Amino acid sequence: MRALLITPEPRKTTTRPYPSMDLSAELWYMIFELVEEDWVEDRTEKCGHPMLPLLLVCKDWKDIAISLLYRSLILNENASLSQMVRVLSSRRLVEDRVGNSIRHVMLGDNFYSLDNDTRDIMCILARAPRLVSLQGIKGSYRELDLLAITCSGTLRELQFANDKAEPIAPALQVLHHFSSLRSLEFAAEEDLTAPDDLGGLLPLDLPVLRSLSVDIMMAPTVLIYFSRCRFLALKELHVSDLYEEELSILHDFLSYHGPKLEHLGFNCASEEAFPKNMFPNLQHLTFGDRSDLDDPWPMQEWYSAIPASVRHLHLRTIWVTEPEDHLPYIDLLHRHRQSIPFKFIHLDHVDFVWRKLYLEKHSVYAGDWVKFALRLEEELGIVVLDKNGRKWTLRRPD
């Protein structure tokens, strides 16, 4: 009987496919977009752009990630604007210009205090036809005119400060072109020796506007102008002050919008004159920049003035330093426990990002703030959240 020699077939080697083959390009873009958004929201001084390592993985990932490199421009005192203008003028990304990838532009607080050429920033904005949000822009109606030509159909969020030397009326007129705005922050300082005549201006018609912030300094005519406006979708309102004079000006405005408001913010206000009955559905109440006051926490008289529907108290007045100085506030909350409606305290100062606080220069205070937060939750059931809405925990942030 002849023996048969059976030779085993050679083992098939399987190579792991590139990660870009596992999911479609659209899904990878959505994933990378979330990573980029998280970096913009929670970036630290030592953290580079998260898209840079992804450019080296494979060609498919490079084509996706490279457009997100320019999705959010954060321009501060170190920004090289002239170099960015050259990039926008010459470079292309996968058969598209770099400027078409820009969705968000944020100008830092020190941007205008240095010798940055404002013509460069306007050149950048002129090459961003798909811009969605612009924060920190200062100037006049000329800047708004350029934006109206370039991206009035795509812009959803605008933070604009009218220069004191420039008239206010033309800027308000140009805002009529931004019918897609969902969030508007308008700041102005009026020259009282020659106040603007805004009585003849038509009220703003922004049908999808959900959030309005009016920051005025010695500009009562601007407040009077906005008091004549009606915004059908408005849910959030921030004003500089809400004392008796401002409440008198805004009475009709608040009577119309108050029942629909979910979020109200102000820098200073009179707790005695605060019309809490105008806001039956208010969920969020924000105390803004009260740096002129000795106590950064709301005075005890406020707890009876807060509408019963409020669940979130936002404080932009608390700095990260000296957390032990704020422990007496817990005792104050104990005394007013029965009249406190809110269940969450948001520490909304720009430095109160949990990961940033832990990893950067304020890390020495991080542990004490965690103890403060844990004590509030254990004793009063009030949860402390950071600027991005994240809970303070004992676990080290990623």
Q: What is the mean pLDDT of residues 69-98?
A: 66
pLDDT level of residue 2 (50, 70, 90 thresholds): very low
Q: What is the pLDDT of residues 171-230, one digit of tens each?
A: 999 999 999 999 999 998 766 555 667 878 899 999 999 999 998 876 788 888 999 999
By mean pLDDT, which of 158-172, 189-203, 302-316 is the weakest? Answer: 189-203
**Domain range annotation of the chain:** 21-69
pLDDT level of residue 115 (50, 70, 90 thresholds): low
SS (H, E, C) 172-191: HHHHHHCCCCCEEEEEEECC
Structure tokens at 108: 């830092």
Which of 49, 123, 43, 114 lies closest to 81, judged by CA? 123
Is 266 in contact with 287 (CB distance < 8 Å)? Answer: yes
pLDDT at 15 over 50: no
Q: What is the pLDDT of residues 324-349, one digit of tens each?
A: 888 888 888 898 888 889 999 999 88
Q: What is the pLDDT of residues 239-297, one digit of tens each?
A: 988 888 889 999 999 999 999 999 999 988 888 889 999 999 999 999 887 644 566 78
Residue 79 CA to residue 64 CA, distance in Å, equals: 25
Q: What is the mean pLDDT of residues 80-94?
A: 62
Which of 317, 328, 389 lies closest to 354, judged by CA? 389
When comparing pLDDT for 53 and 310, which is higher?
A: 310
CA pseudo-torsion sign 321, 327, 329, 333: positive
pLDDT at 8 over 50: no
pLDDT at 101: 80
Strand order in the sheet with 72-75: 72-75, 104-107, 133-139, 157-162, 183-189, 211-217, 236-242, 263-269, 284-287, 312-315, 344-347, 383-385
Residue 29 CA to residue 11 CA, distance in Å, equals: 36
Q: What pTM value is reported for the model? A: 0.82
